[in-house]
Amino acid sequence: MEIGIGHYLILSGILFSIGFVGVLRRKNLLMLFFATEIMLNAVNVAFAAIGNYYGDLSGQMFAFFVIAVAASEVAVGLGLLIVLYKKYGSLDLDVISTMKG
Amino acid sequence: MYEFIAFYVFAISTTILFAITALSKNVLYAMTALAAGMVMISGFFFLLGADFLGVVQLIVYVGAVMALYAFAMMFFDATKDIKEKHENPTLVFLLGGLMALVFVVMFSAPIIGENIQALYPVGLAEGLGAYGNAQDVGLVLFTKYLVPFEVAALMLLVAMIAGIILAGKKMDYSLTECEASDEELEKEIKKEEA
Amino acid sequence: MESLVYIALFAPFVGSLFAGLFFARSPKTHLVGIVASGLLAVSFIASVTLAMHVASHGAVHVTMMEWISAGDLSIPFGFLVDEVSVTMMVVVTLVSTVVHIYSTGYMDHDKGYNRFFSYLSAFVFSMLILVMSDNFAGLFIGWEGVGVCSWLLIGFWYHKEDRPFEENPSISPSWAANEAFIMNRVADLGMLVGIFLIYWNIGSLQYDVVFAAMPNLADGILVAIAIALFIGAMGKSAQFPLHTWLTDAMEGPTPVSALIHAATMVTAGVFLVIRANPLFSLDAVHGVSMFIASLGAFVAFYAASMALSARDIKRIVALSTLSQLGYMFAAAGLGAYWIALFHLAAHAFFKALLFLGAGNVMHAMDDELDIFKMGGMKKVMRGSYIYMGIASFALAGLPIMAGFYSKDAIIETAFNDGSFIIWGILVITAGMTAFYSFRQVFFTFHGEERYKALGFHPHDMYKYVLVAMAPLAALAISFGWFMDDFKGFITKNLPEYEMSHHTHHWAWLLGLIVIVVAVTGIIIAYKKYAGKGGDAWKRDEEFEASFLYKLVENQYYVPKFYDEFIVQPYTIASKKFWAIDKAVVDGSVDLVARMFYRSGDVSRGMQTGSLSAYLNWMGIGALLLIVAAAITAFMG
């Protein structure tokens, strides 16, 4: 059977949902970042697939930039994570949240 | 035929690995699964003929980003399980499930596929493709997407500086430019080493 | 000429503003009284000049400015000075000037002196607008204005407390003011309906347009308009059943009673009927006119009967006003509009004089009103005695005085018209009028000096006040002599009403009958009340307890009836509605507010400060957006 664009997109969607569940579920900040990475990767797959099936290289370009952005986001995010840890001594979300609403 | 098998192998393994990342209680397992999953994702890229992208994924994501995470993991005792208080797990799985359902329904409908057209197709239509993917990417990147490229470079620079500042200790005190005498400097250095 | 119109109209207004804006909070300032009276004198002179102009040149019609101009509706601020309105203007301004000067003396010791003049001048201004306006809307503005000023003035001593009904039938000035205003308001509804009908059927409210179009309307509409307008007139002129406010309005200061409830406001209803004479003289409306005449005759008799037993000096005069208003309406209803106007003017003069004289007596007796407590005061109050005597002679309709000419003309009209019942009632009422007015004079000024035993020390009013009252006295005597000139002047505008040849033949006999009846009344009064020593009047307790006496003394129990069957149920209903209003209206508004407040409170719970909760919300939002995108993608 031909692997059509639908397959890739459905796969991307499922991976995105898995990442989504991870983001909602995780209480540890670091693990939260992992789940975010999953989502980003899923989106990359989708971009590349669409780019391939419609003959447009822009899909891959977009995936490049997503990778670049993700990398810098990880750098800054982990830096902040370190500062947070030094302040609160823990990375659990429930411990860190001080705003009362 | 090969494509078929390859796709499903990659698909299933990616799904399982990412599921482990999202649901596991052990940080080490989660991180390892993430790294492995990313390798599988690069497999997809190769399947799609995006060679350059696949290589970039491997180098940047798996190599650099996961290394960063590995360093971050030094904060934890990797043998202990992370205890997480889960309020309302039903809501979370419900949302995730709904989202997956919506995506599947949306993307499996053939209507969507037929109406999409590429606005500015770059690639085979323009006589590219004879040189392979890397050359094509290079051509496009440095002509059409030059400005975003430069901006991305600047952004990476900023991120690097930000990372250093956030993580560095005593950044406002410079040993070379301070006006202390040599003995005091020695004391400072000894204090730091201690 | 136009500037004269504006001067006549706005001079009292300026006086009112002067007193109200600058002196409202100050203690009594003589300047206010002088300025207000002066401005009214200016207005009077302007009115007289206008009268002379109108007599020689005809009507003056000015339009000051456009007031309402919306679609087809166009109502200007216009003023029409024709023979009818200029007569009213002269009467109003003359009586007002005298009353203003009188008030400077009467209200001398009152704390609200400045306020009084402000209100009084404002009243005159409203009355002038009413009289001078050239359309029904302006008339209505003046109508309402005099209603409001009357309320302000009757309730001038608003701080006086309510007394129970048995002690003081008017309960208190504020209560009486409310009663007057509310009764007027009820009648104004009729007036408004009439004005609406006029506009709806004719499309304009200008007098000339309306009266020209009247003959073309359907009979039913004409009758409806006539009835509606007359209901308005009934309220202002206190015809039965909307009459109880007039006697209670005596709670206000005496100058107020003299100006408003003798000469001006209560005649506004008569003025309306006279002004709308093209309507009331149509054949289609004949039934309504006859009703007006009959009601007028009935009220004349009714009021006179109540005055026979009244003890309050001002109440007697108020009831006599009511009675004379009945006469005026009888004349107007029978079609003799110029005679009604003539009686209006003559009545204004001698009634105002009567009230002012009564005010003098009251002032002398420290505001004591009961005539049983007075007597033999002619020795100490010479001037007032003479004035009241003259006024009572005029009122009784004795020859030479003004009342003779005007009242007689009305009685003759009734005879001429063939309405012998009305004629009979009016003749009997004339006798009763003579009786009660002289009863009052004899009680107050003749007979035993009952006041001495009660410790009063009366003295007459200031000299200048007595001098100011002189013009009224002069007119009360002489106005009747100008009846023919007046007739020639006024019939340029109003329809002529000539007595038939038959009546002319019997005119001397009719006049003689009236004179005899009146003199008989005076003699009876003299015999009963003016005696001294052995002949002195004594209270007859038995007679006072008889049914007829009690009936008349309690004003035929009409006020009690109104109180029990209208006021009390209405108060109870109002209280119930207030409770409903609080629960339903306030409740629903509060409910809306509380709903918003509560929803805000609940939504605040969304801000917990915990990242996972926020992520949950974000996830839900993202899901919704994706679903929305999917739906649009499927649709489009």
Task: Please write the tens of the pLDDT for every residue from B11-21.
Answer: 999 999 999 99
What's the average model confidence in pLDDT over C293-298? 90
For the ranges B133-137, B168-172, C587-591, the lowest mean pLDDT is seen at: B168-172
Q: Pick from A3, A71, A80: which is nearest to B64 by CB?
A: A71
At which residue do the structure tokens 């006469």 appear? C327
Nearest Cα to Cα of residue C566 among C165, C147, C250, C179: C179
Does A85 sit within 8 Å of B86, measured CB to CB?
no
Single pTM value for the model: 0.70
CB contact under 8 A, B91 and C633: no
CB contact under 8 A, C606 and A101: yes
Per-residue model confidence (pLDDT) at position C191:
92
The pLDDT tens digits for C469-502 are: 888 888 888 888 888 888 888 887 777 777 776 7
Beta bridge pairs of residue C206: C135
pLDDT at A27: 85
Residue C401 pLDDT: 80
Give the B window 72-101 contacts with C, CB below 8 Å. Answer: 87-88, 91-92, 95, 98-99
Most confident listed range (B150-154, C284-288, C469-473)? B150-154
Report the relative pairing of strands C73-81 and C60-70 from DSSP bridges: antiparallel
Q: Which of residues 105-144 of B touch A (CB under 8 A)?
A: 106-108, 110, 113, 116-125, 128, 136-137, 140-141, 144
State pLDDT tens for residues C205-258.
888 888 888 888 888 888 999 999 999 998 888 888 888 888 888 888 889 988
What was the pLDDT predicted at A18? 94
Residues 75-94 of A with CB under 8 A from C: 93-94
Predicted local confidence at residue C11, as pLDDT = 92
Residues C146, C103 contacting (CB under 8 angstroms): no
Q: What are the strands, taking DSSP E only, across C43-171?
A: 60-70, 73-81
Would you state the pLDDT for residue C160? 83
Answer whether A85 sits within 8 Å of B75, measured CB to CB: yes
Q: What is the pLDDT of residue B127?
A: 53
* Average confidence (pLDDT) over C313-328: 89
Of B91, B111, B112, nearest to C616 by CB-CB distance is B91
Examine the pLDDT at B111 and tell me if it is beyond 60. no
Q: Which of B9-23, C298-312, C573-587 has the highest mean pLDDT?
A: B9-23
- CA–CA distance, C416 with C293 (Å, rounded to integer): 14
Q: What is the pLDDT of residues B40-80, one digit of tens each?
A: 999 999 998 888 999 999 999 999 998 989 888 876 666 67
Contact A63, B126 (CB under 8 A): no
Q: Find which of A13-27, A49-63, A86-100 is predicted with most confidence, using mean pLDDT.
A: A13-27
B160 vs C493: CA distance, rounded Å: 105
Closest-CA residue of chain A to B110 = A6
Q: What's the pLDDT score for residue C158?
A: 87
Q: Chain A: residue nearest C611 by CA? A: A93
Rounded to an integer, the average pLDDT of C391-411 is 84
Residue recorded with tokens 């719970």:
C605
Q: Higher-confidence residue: B102 or C493?
A: B102
C353 within 8 A of C476, measured Cβ to Cβ: yes
Contact call for A41 and B37, based on CB within 8 A: yes
Please state the ipTM of this predicted complex. 0.91
Determine, for residues C607 and A99 on separate chains, whether the beta-carbon distance falls below 8 Å: yes
User: Does residue C452 surpass a pLDDT of 80?
Assistant: no
Confidence of residue B37 (pLDDT cuts 50, 70, 90): very high
C103-120: average pLDDT: 87
In A, minimum Cα distance to B94 occurs at A21
* Close Cβ partners of C36 (under 8 Å, ≥ 6 residues apart): C12, C15, C16, C18, C19, C100, C117, C120, C121
Q: Do A20 and C619 touch (CB under 8 A)?
A: yes
